[in-house]
């Protein structure tokens, strides 16, 4: 293969793979350089960042030119010499009539002079570098797309995953865990999801498409509801059991807009498309608030809550409900309370209102046995009754009130004795 033929093949390769001209040119130079170093037995010496080459490569793919020039030292005829670094005087004179022993002259090398073995190695190295370049480009493209909607067609289906191809022939994987329960796909089906993650695996990019990730629901809301896309309405939090139920908390800075109504649309017109895409997943849209008690009430709808006791430090809440409201709060297979807990960030404990029928006692009733400053310490953390104190862990009370452990144990004993007296 001559230089012209080599560059013609290179040009066709560039057009077929649609690689940037500059990038492909750099790859070609790097590969030729690496091959020449092997051919000319050039090794990196200790302390050098790169080997000291005695050649240079000139590539002009537009003109179809490839030139390789090797710098050689002129040595006398008849002496043993290194053909990779030296040239006899008689041969040097054919290149430069003024050449003399000790001079350094440049001799052009044709690509075919590398020999079949090195040309084959060059091609293999070139293909490897191109694959590496393309994999990096694919990785960078999809890394920038993480969390965004993406559409691809099913290429083949396996037991544990669906393999897809996009319009550019790039492969994506949707594991069974990233599919909505009950979904079945066939070859050539068009699938929409979000790019969940991108990583290099065995030097190839692995792109995971997901339909269960919360961001899929968020992107669908953005696509279907212009006010979200325009930033007028904000999605603050999302909780989801894929294919079953989801809760979405939204807010707006514009008092003229009802964010929930805007998301649902007239007779559910805006949200219907999202529900269909998610295989009839039930979606509750609620108004977001920074008030945790009010937020919990909204998240547990349609249940009507009688009272909420918050432990903000431990992110726990006791929810007091009438018996008939408990099933509404819990939901089918616990879906409603689990989603409300995920949405609000609080661990929710349901308590029947009837459990509170036993009479409680205000702490101020114990001032004949407790110091006023002790009662005040409990009031500061929102504990006003004997039962509210007894329900708290001693370690928590030590941290929250600043009282000594022994003091708290004595207070608990006094409060417990009062209830024991009442039972007699």
Structure confidence by residue, pLDDT tens digits, 320-348: 998 888 999 999 889 999 999 999 999 99
Q: In whole angstroms, what is the distance from residue 152 CA to residue 168 CA?
A: 10
**Does the pLDDT at position 424 exceed 60?**
no
Could you tell me the domains of the chain?
3-138 (3.30.1480), 145-212 (2.40.50.140), 219-281 (3.30.300.20), 289-357 (3.30.300.20), 363-423 (1.10.150)
Please spell the DSSP secondary structure of 222-241, one letter per residue: HHH-HHHHTTSEEEEEEEEE
Confidence band (pLDDT; 50, 70, 90) for 17?
Answer: low
Instruction: Give the C-alpha separation, 238 to 247, whole Å.
Output: 6
The answer to which of 10-24, 93-107, 377-391 has the lowest mean pLDDT is: 10-24
Q: State the pLDDT at residue 348.
A: 95
Instruction: Please state the rounded mean pLDDT for residues 397-418.
Output: 89
pLDDT at 2: 56
Confidence (pLDDT) at 51 = 65
- Highest mean pLDDT pick, 9-13, 116-120, 248-252: 248-252
How confident is the model at residue 49, as a pLDDT? 59
Nearest CA to 114 out of 202, 39, 28 is that of 39
pLDDT tens by residue, 221-255: 999 999 999 999 999 999 999 999 999 999 999 98
Distance, CA of 415 to CA of 56 (rounded, Å): 92
* Cα–Cα distances in angstroms (integers) from residue 409 to residues 53, 306, 368, 388, 406, in the given order: 83, 31, 17, 15, 5
What pLDDT score does 24 carry? Answer: 78
- Tell me, what's the pLDDT at 175? 97
| Least confident span in 72-76, 258-262, 337-341, 379-383 | 379-383
Percent of the chain, pLDDT > 70? Answer: 90
pLDDT of residue 356: 47
pLDDT digits (tens, 9 = 90+) for 40-59: 777 666 655 566 778 878 77
Name the residue with higher pLDDT: 366 or 246: 246
Distance CA 60, CA 29 (A): 11
Q: What is the CA radius of gyration of the chain?
A: 38
pLDDT at 352 over 70: yes
Q: How many angstroms separate the CA atoms of 319 and 311, rounded?
A: 12
Question: What mean pLDDT comes out for the span 104-121?
Answer: 83
Lowest mean pLDDT segment, chosen from 5-14, 38-47, 157-166, 302-311: 5-14
Cis peptide before 89 (omega within 30 of 0): no
* CB contact at 8 A, 179 and 162: yes
> 355 pLDDT band (50/70/90 cuts)?
very low
Residue bearing tokens 């089918």: 332
- What gap in Å lies between CA 272 and CA 378, rounded to an integer? 51
- Element (H or E) spanning 185, and its range? none
pLDDT at position 109: 82
pLDDT the model gives residue 324: 86
Whether the predicted pLDDT of 35 surpasses 60: yes
* Residues 348-358, mean pLDDT to the nearest whole number: 72
Q: Are 236 and 288 in contact (CB under 8 A)?
A: yes
DSSP 300: T
Q: What is the mean pLDDT of the chain?
A: 87
**Better-scored residue on pLDDT, 173 or 117:** 173
> Which of helix, strand or coil describes residue 206?
strand
Taking every pair of Cα atoms in the chain, the longest distance, rounded to a whole number of angstroms, is: 126
At 46 the pLDDT is 60
- Rounded to whole angstroms, what are the CA distances from 214 to 39, 185, 337? 56, 21, 18
Query: Does pTM top 0.85 for this prediction?
Result: no
pLDDT tens sequence across 286-331: 999 999 999 999 999 999 998 899 999 999 999 999 888 899 999 9
CB-neighbour burial class of residue 388 (10 A; exposed 0-12, middle 13-18, buried 19+): middle
Looking at residue 108, its pLDDT comes to 84
């Amino acid at each position: 293969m001559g230089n012209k033929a080599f560059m013609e093949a290179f040009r066709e390769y560039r057009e077929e793979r649609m690689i940037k001209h500059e990038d492909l040119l750099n790859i070609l130079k790097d590969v030729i350089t690496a091959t020449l170093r092997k051919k000319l037995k050039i090794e990196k010496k200790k302390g050098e960042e790169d080997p000291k080459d005695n050649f240079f490569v000139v590539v002009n793919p537009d003109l179809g030119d490839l030139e390789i020039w090797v710098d050689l030292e002129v040595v006398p005829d008849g002496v043993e010499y290194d053909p990779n670094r030296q040239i006899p005087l008689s041969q040097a004179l054919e290149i430069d009539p003024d050449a003399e022993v000790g001079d350094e002259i440049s001799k052009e090398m044709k690509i075919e002079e590398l020999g079949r073995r090195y040309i084959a190695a060059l091609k293999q190295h070139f293909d490897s570098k191109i694959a590496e370049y393309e994999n990096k480009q694919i990785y960078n493209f999809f890394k920038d797309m993480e969390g965004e909607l993406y559409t691809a067609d099913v290429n083949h289906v396996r037991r544990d995953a669906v393999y897809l191809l996009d319009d550019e022939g790039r492969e994506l994987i949707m594991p069974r865990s990233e599919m909505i329960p009950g979904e079945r796909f066939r070859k050539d089906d068009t699938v929409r999801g979000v790019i969940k993650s991108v990583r290099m695996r065995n030097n190839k990019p692995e792109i995971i498409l997901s339909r269960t990730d919360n961001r899929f629901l968020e992107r669908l809301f953005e696509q279907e509801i212009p006010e979200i896309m325009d930033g007028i309405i904000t999605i603050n939090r999302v909780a989801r059991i894929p294919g079953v139920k989801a809760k979405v908390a939204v807010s707006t800075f514009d008092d003229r807009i009802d964010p929930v109504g805007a998301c649902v649309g007239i007779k559910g017109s805006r949200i219907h498309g999202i529900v269909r895409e998610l295989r009839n997943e039930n979606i509750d849209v609620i108004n977001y608030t920074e008030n945790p008690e009010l937020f919990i009430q909204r998240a547990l709808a349609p249940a009507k809550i009688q009272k909420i006791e918050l432990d903000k430090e431990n992110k726990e809440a006791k929810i007091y409900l009438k018996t008939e409201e408990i099933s509404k709060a819990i939901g089918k297979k616990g879906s409603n309370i689990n989603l409300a807990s995920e949405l609000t960030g609080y661990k929710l404990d349901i308590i029947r209102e009837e459990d509170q029928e036993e009479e409680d006692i205000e702490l101020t009733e114990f001032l004949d046995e407790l110091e006023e400053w002790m009662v005040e310490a409990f009031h500061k953390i929102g504990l006003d009754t004997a039962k509210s104190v007894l329900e708290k862990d001693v370690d928590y009370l030590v941290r929250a009130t600043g009282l000594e452990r022994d003091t708290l144990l004595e207070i608990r004993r006094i409060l417990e004795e009062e209830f024991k007296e009442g039972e007699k």
